[in-house]
Amino acid sequence: MQVIYTPRGRAREYSPLALNIYNGCDHGCIYCYIPKIYHIDRNNYINSINPKTQVLQKIEKDAKKLQYCNEQVLLSFAGDPYNKTDQDLRITREALKILLEYNIPVSILTKGGERCLRDLDLFKDFKDHIKVGASLTFIIDEDSIKYEPGAALPNDRLETLKTLHDNGIKTWISFEPVIKPQQTINLLDISLDFVDEYRIGKINHYPELEKQIYWPKFLIQALEILRMENKQIYVKKDLRELCKSIKLNDNEIDMDLYLAPPFIKPTDNRNYGIKMGIV
């Protein structure tokens, strides 16, 4: 395949397949690992946002091979499907139309807040074969502006999840990175009424900051709240490694348990009837 691919490592814990539509991301998160890993100039990554070359044609080619597949496709690991540039180009909308046409289940992860609501009609067309999530790091605006200057503010993201939930769309949150654990716990607590699934990690690539956090305490607090509300939970491997004394249930360590379900391929009833001697 050309643009739909199988993620590896930490990314695989979110989805068996993925699609990155854009080169670059204008959210400018200072903790973003993409420029470092791919040896990209950070300023260019933030300021030069373009869809990948012939991306829609390549998506269609891949989607034809994957139609009615059992594995969800996540948008996106590198960049954001609802970055500011997409407000004008609307490439993400066209990509979703293709994935829907070929009956491919989808998961969306964005910090774009209400920008994604322009595609609410498409989300509804997917029925239960889509889930839409937000990455949330801070509850305090000043911290969000400092670390994620181009992303939607926390309340925007929360209100967007509520709107999606009210419209029957499955919602989820990715708590990764976790930089200020108490803010993450507060975000978790106030989102319970309109979020279905939580994926919880820690912070990576910043060892000095990571050492300042007592991760077992954070995980225990999160689990107490989520288990009481019977929420769907996945605890990422990196966090589990730092909290080995905490007993986790099987459903809390199964990375594929809560994927968007596949479309059911219709049977040819006419041919079935002929084979069975009915018609």
Dig out the tokens for 153 from the structure. 């503010």
**Residue 176: per-residue pLDDT:** 96
pTM of the model: 0.93
**Residue 16: per-residue pLDDT:** 98
Task: Name all domains of the chain by residue range, CATH numbers in brackets.
Answer: 4-275 (3.20.20.70)
Distances, alpha carbon 146 to alpha carbons 29, 36, 137, 178, in Å: 9, 19, 12, 15
Q: Determine how many CB atoms are found less than 10 A away from the CB of residue 149.
A: 13
Cα 10 to chain centroid distance, Å, stands at 13
Q: What is the pLDDT along the chain (279 residues), one digit of tens a residue?
A: 899 999 999 999 999 999 999 999 999 999 998 888 888 888 989 988 999 999 999 999 999 999 999 999 999 999 999 999 999 999 999 999 999 999 999 999 999 999 999 999 999 999 999 999 999 999 999 999 999 999 999 999 999 999 999 999 999 999 999 999 999 999 999 999 999 999 999 998 888 888 999 999 999 999 999 999 999 999 999 999 999 999 999 999 999 999 999 999 988 554 444 444 443
**Residue 208: per-residue pLDDT:** 86
**Residue 268: per-residue pLDDT:** 56
Query: Which amino acid would we find at residue 228?
Result: M
**Residue 212: per-residue pLDDT:** 93
Question: Over the range 115-128, which residues count as b (16 or more CB within 10 Å of their CB) and which as e?
Answer: bbbebeebbeebee
E-state strands within 76-142: 106-110, 130-135
CB 4 within 8 A of CB 63: yes
Nearest to 145 by CA among 66, 250, 27, 57: 27
CB 223 within 8 A of CB 233: yes
Q: What is the rounded distance in angstroms from the CA atom of residue 162 to the CA atom of residue 261?
A: 22
Q: What is the rounded distance in angstroms from the CA atom of residue 223 to the CA atom of residue 175?
A: 13
Q: What is the rounded distance in angstroms from the CA atom of residue 34 to the CA atom of residue 11?
A: 12
